[in-house]
Amino acid sequence: MKKCTIIGKTNVGKTLFLINFAGYLGLKFLDISLCDDKKILKKYKLSINQAIYELVNDQTHKTRCLQSIIVDVPMGKGKKKLQLIDTVGLIDGIHSNIEIRKAISHTLTIVRVSDIILHIVDAASAGRDELPSSMGEVDYQLAQFAQLKRGYAILANKMDLPDAKEGLDKIKSEFSGNLIIPISALHKKGFKEVRTFVAHNI
């Protein structure tokens, strides 16, 4: 089964995107596997609403472990299974907490073996130059590495917020030459375009 990894700085909306995109693809419940880069550590099931309540918030590094689910992606008359992997938020520089450093290292390992990389950038923070979510050095490094792969797209998230349009213009000029899809993980906007991109790359 192919792997699609959701990556980006902390607090940009990776986990909310995973959950709402899974819901958009038809899942009512999520069978979530917590894992490091080699093995599954724990499995559990949550409804979409429970998952949002328990796994998403605006504190940085809410997600501290890779978490993955299996989704069916419609392809023509059929569908294909895909592993969607939510990762630990990246930061510019080195984190002081060793657990987060380890989890970031697992995240980078998974990116190397992923077929599809969805790089989420917070367009609203980019518009306001607001740290820590605003795009930074780690986004440029990630784009340089990931654009060598066929299945790489940048998702400009939080397009529902003020300043996101200015942010999107900045993202387009900084990452020109890449596919950039504006989305709102909160309002499930732009998901059709993401689904089409994913289906083309499975």
Ligand X SMILES: Nc1nc2c(ncn2[C@@H]2O[C@H](COP(=O)(O)OP(=O)(O)OP(=O)(O)O)[C@@H](O)[C@H]2O)c(=O)[nH]1
**Which residues are at the interface with ligand X (CB under 6 A)?**
10-16, 56-58, 60-63, 89, 157-158, 160-161, 184-186
Using the minimum distance from each CB to Mg ion, give the nearer residue, 50 or 196: 50
How many whole angstroms separate alpha carbon 162 and alpha carbon 117?
A: 27
- With CB under 5 to 8 Å by kind, the binding choice for 5 among ligand X, Mg ion, none is none
CB of 86 to ligand X, least distance (A): 7
CB of 165 to ligand X, least distance (A): 14
- With CB under 5 to 8 Å by kind, the binding choice for 61 among Mg ion, ligand X, none is ligand X
How many whole angstroms separate alpha carbon 11 and alpha carbon 21?
A: 17
Which residues of the shown chain bind Mg ion in the complex (CB under 5 A)? 14-15, 62-63
How many whole angstroms separate alpha carbon 174 and alpha carbon 80?
A: 34
Strand ranges inside the chain, DSSP E: 2-8, 29-35, 40-47, 66-75, 78-86, 116-122, 151-157, 180-182
- With CB under 5 to 8 Å by kind, the binding choice for 16 among Mg ion, ligand X, none is ligand X
Under a CB-based contact definition with an 8 Å cutoff, are residues 194 and 155 in contact?
yes
- The residue whose Cβ lies closest to ligand X is 89
CB of 76 to ligand X, least distance (A): 29
Q: Which residues contact 177 (CB under 8 A, 6 or more apart)?
A: 147
**Rounded to whole angstroms, what are the CA distances from 113 to 12, 27, 37, 56, 68?**
22, 25, 10, 26, 14
Using the minimum distance from each CB to Mg ion, give the nearer residue, 107 or 177: 107
Q: Which residues contact 25 (CB under 8 A, 6 or more apart)?
A: 71, 72, 73, 74, 195
Using the minimum distance from each CB to ligand X, give the nearer residue, 55 or 73: 55
Using the minimum distance from each CB to ligand X, give the nearer residue, 63 or 68: 63
Using the minimum distance from each CB to ligand X, give the nearer residue, 57 or 74: 57
CB of 24 to ligand X, least distance (A): 13
- With CB under 5 to 8 Å by kind, the binding choice for 68 among ligand X, Mg ion, none is none
CB of 42 to Mg ion, least distance (A): 16
Where does 14-136 have alpha helices with state H? 14-24, 48-55, 98-112, 123-128
